[in-house]
Copies of this chain bind each other. A is one copy, B any other.
Amino acid sequence: MKSAIFSVGTEILFGQITNTNTVYLSQQLNRMGIDVLYHETVGDNPGRVKEVLSRLLSEVDLVITTGGLGPTQDDLTKEMAAEVMGVELKIDEESLEKIRLFFEKTGREMTENNIKQANLPAKDGFILPNNAGTAPGCVFEKDGKIVVCLPGPPREMTRMFEESVIPYLQTLTHEVIYSDMVRVFGIGESQLEYMLQDLITGQTDPTIATYAKEGECSVRVTSKRNTLEEAREAVEAMAEKVTAIVGDYIFSYHDEDLKDVVAKKLMERGLTISCAESCTGGLFASTLIGVEGISSVFERGIVTYSNRAKMEELGVKEETLARYGAVSEETAREMTAGLKKKTGSRVCISVTGIAGPDGGTAEKPVGLVYICVDFDGKTECKEFRVRTVNRNWIRHYSVLLMMDMVNRIIG
């Protein structure tokens, strides 16, 4: 099946928003085996919406539109789609009632123009309920062509797509897709691809593909079968093959972030944690504290950016700093030991490094990072040379290294 994604909205042409809807929809459609041939965007202009829609329908089987379903005069995607498809719109009482209730619940007045949002195809199509906003979406089906109209706000669009559009598209392909994302840390994408080469080259179903994002990599495993059960089993069997090759780097089989995996383990086992940060400057604490419920185990974070702070807060010896420098394994060890003594947390982790752009030397270059973690008295210290993309990349990657060390030591 061939498809196109058609975004409507003047704000996109002004560059006021980044079109992430298109990225999401492209990923989803490709994963379902539906080819995406075009992305197009026009403003809230009835003539151009109609012209582009007609043309796309002459070239593909399925057009997914986003935007232009709201209550204002400018919102006209649905109306133009109805015209192009030759389908009549009628007020749908159930949808209208839902919109009325939405306004009642949020305590706002429902103005007249909101009624048009309930103008929907009575036949040659059906309604897609909006469970995250007011404007319903809809599907037009006629003469072998399909137009799916979705709202513009990403939260509403993705929810509608997952709840209603995926199941619908699966009925068309008569196949069920099951997909999982194996998450990996500690090797680059090219190395990962190299190691999985035989699996990638020989793939038919399940298919596997590697992705890289901000220092982490993923392997997507997707299977398209007649039943969900079959597809899931095929994905799991392939995930086992992937594990046999790169198992040591895998931290999640279900697309979780490393911080979430670590936080979940800490919370489930009631392991208290404290951290002492130099170069990352609070980013480790801040990242972990971004996880809901972490207050049950996160005890304390100390940003000891100056030497004085390292001595006063953590009891790092002046002699150690003078002899080995603030960025050294010895300092990292004393930071962790001091933190342990002070907090008694079961997991204590410290980091010291050179984030740059200044402060590096030939012996201790920018990107040099020491991390030391202690778990119930078992201590591990490591030296890293982080790729010197820029200051904030070094900080970000150091936090991933810290998460990885915590994840491995608590097991």
Contacts and interface: CB of A to CB of B under 8 A. Distances in A.
Given A16-B211, A26-B12, A40-B38, A282 B293 contact: no
Contacts of A15: 22-28, 30, 36
Nearest to A392: B290
B298 A281 contact: yes
A331 interface: no
A282 B305 CA distance: 13
Given A25-B15, A40-B40, A282-B284, A303 B305 contact: no
Contacts of A286: 280-283, 285-286, 395
A364 interface: no
A367 to B, nearest CB: 15
Contacts of A391: 290, 292
A303 B282 contact: yes
Contacts of A281: 285-286, 288-290, 298, 301
A295 B301 contact: no
B301 A305 contact: yes
Secondary structure of the A side of the interface?
mixed
Given A282-B303, A302-B303, A358-B293, A12 B37 contact: no
Contacts of A39: 7, 12-13, 19, 39-41
Contacts of A312: 342
Copies in the complex: 2
A313 B301 CA distance: 10
B37 A42 contact: yes
A13 B41 contact: no
A215 interface: no
Contacts of A293: 358
Q: Which of A13, A37, A277 has the most chain B CB atoms inside 10 A of its CB?
A: A13
Interface in A14-57: 14-20, 22-28, 30, 36-43, 48, 52
Contacts of A313: 300, 302
Contacts of A306: 295, 298-300
A119 interface: no
Contacts of A24: 15
A7 B7 CA distance: 15
A295 B305 contact: yes
A304 interface: yes
Contacts of A302: 300-303, 313
A142 interface: no
A306 B296 CA distance: 9
Given A36-B13, A357-B292, A309 B305 contact: no
Given A38-B52, A286-B395, A299-B306, 8 more contacts: A15-B27, A281-B301, A282-B303, A285-B303, A290-B391, A300-B302, A300-B309, A301-B301
Interface of A: 7, 12-20, 22-28, 30, 36-43, 48, 52, 211, 275, 277, 280-286, 288-290, 292-293, 295, 298-306, 308-309, 312-313, 342-343, 357-359, 391-392, 395
